[in-house]
Amino acid sequence: MSTFNLDITKERCPMTFVKAKLHLEQLEPGDITEILLAAGEPLDNVPRTATEQGYQVLESVHVRDNIHKITIKKP
């Protein structure tokens, strides 16, 4: 199991989803990743679509201002 990180706070639609998707596709079963993202569209949709695609969203925490961190595991 490895731990990864991705920062998509500076990205705009649709690259927020594109980068998150390509990042998640690199994970092996059991791997965990932390994704930093902005409130609004990315926070509303990245965890939702990850769940739909079979990943586990372990945690979502507010970091600062409009920045949030979600922790995702590939089962």
Partner 1 sequence: MAEKNKLSIISMSGDFDKVIAVFTLASGAAAVGYEVNIFFTFWGLNSIKKVTSHRFIGSGFLARFFNFLLGGRKSLPLSRLNFGGLSPILMTGMMKGKNVATLEELFDASKALRVNFFACEMAMHVLGLTKDDFIPEVKDVLGVASFLELSKGGQTLFI
- Residues at the interface with partner 1 (CB under 8 A): 10-15, 17-18, 20-22, 45, 49, 52-54
Closest distance between partner 1 and the C-beta of residue 2, in Å?
21
Minimum distance, C-beta of residue 52 to partner 1, in the bound complex (Å) = 5
Nearer to partner 1, 42 or 68 (CB): 42
Given a contact cutoff of 8 angstroms between Cβ atoms, the answer to whether 30 and 36 are in contact is no
Radius of gyration of the chain (CA): 11
Work out how close the CB of 41 gets to partner 1 at its nearest, in angstroms, rounded to a whole number.
10
Q: How far apart are CA 32 and CA 64, in angstroms?
A: 22
Q: What is the DSSP letter of 27?
A: P
